[in-house]
């Protein structure tokens, strides 16, 4: 498994893309460990996007509150 640059964590973009391509092509020869690892990576990715979305929403709300207070 590859490692992401600057970290000791496996699960770089190339690894995810290769697993995804294998699944789409019907070559689902992932071991159970690999499948669990891929699911873990996808869960972390989902959580990161959720956190980013929540942060952007809160920033937007704060900006709107500031604008409303200036009126």
- 3-42 burial string, b = 16+ CB within 10 Å, else e? eeeeeeeebbeebeeebeeeeeeeeeeeeeeeeebbeebe
Question: Which of these, 47, 46, 37, lies nearest to 16 by C-alpha position?
Answer: 37
Q: How many residues does this entry show for the chain? A: 71
Q: What pLDDT was estimated at residue 36? A: 87
Q: What pLDDT was estimated at residue 2? A: 43
Low-confidence ranges of the chain (pLDDT < 70): 1-11, 26-30
């Amino acid at each position: 498994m590859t490692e992401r640059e600057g970290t000791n964590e496996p699960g770089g973009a190339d690894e995810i893309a290769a697993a995804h391509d294998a699944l789409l092509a019907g070559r689902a020869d992932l071991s159970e460990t690999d499948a669990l690892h891929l699911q873990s990576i996808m869960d972390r990715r989902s959580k990161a996007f959720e956190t980013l979305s929540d942060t952007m929403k809160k920033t937007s709300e704060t900006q709107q509150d500031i604008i409303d207070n200036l009126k």
